[in-house]
């Protein structure tokens, strides 16, 4: 097992690793819409949040030697399921042909008051 804390990722907000590589897989911890350059959250809507999170995940995977095309499973936590279609329109831009398995769950709150959090499992 290899613990990954890529420079391309925002600093974790708790006692965990950004990602772990094990047995040919990369497990990326839940990512919230933080600006990688300053670690701040300044998200106004679900579209902006989704873009920021998926860009961060893409950068983490690339630095770990993988990519969005190698994602097998996506877990999405969203605070307002009525925003699902708006989220999904952005999500589809990052997975235009490749369709990993996915779960989307509405939750009451997320760290720093963000509208969504996304975690992925990818092939290394």
Strands 101-106 and 71-78, by their bridges, are parallel
CATH number at residue 100: 3.30.1330.40
Pairwise CA distance, residues 59 & 54, whole Å: 9
Residue 12 carries which DSSP code? Answer: P
Q: Which residues constitute the domain of residue 21? A: 2-123
Cβ-based neighbour number of residue 73 at 10 Å: 14
Q: What is the pLDDT along the chain (124 residues), one digit of tens a residue?
A: 888 877 777 777 778 889 999 999 999 999 999 987 787 887 779 999 999 999 999 999 999 999 999 999 999 999 999 999 999 999 999 999 999 999 999 999 999 999 999 999 999 9
Biggest alpha carbon–alpha carbon distance for the chain? 39
Q: How many domains does the chain have?
A: 1
């Amino acid at each position: 097992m290899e613990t990954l804390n890529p420079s391309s990722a925002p600093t974790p907000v708790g006692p965990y690793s950004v990602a772990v590589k094990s047995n040919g897989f990369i497990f990326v911890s839940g990512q919230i819409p933080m600006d990688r350059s300053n670690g701040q959250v300044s998200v106004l809507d679900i579209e902006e949040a989704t873009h920021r999170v998926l860009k961060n995940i893409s950068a983490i995977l690339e630095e770990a030697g993988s990519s969005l095309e190698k994602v097998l499973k996506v877990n999405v936590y969203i605070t307002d399921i009525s925003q699902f279609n708006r989220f999904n329109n952005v999500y589809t831009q990052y997975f235009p042909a490749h369709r990993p398995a996915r779960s989307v769950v509405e939750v009451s709150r997320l760290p720093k008051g963000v509208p969504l959090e996304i975690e992925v499992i990818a092939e290394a």
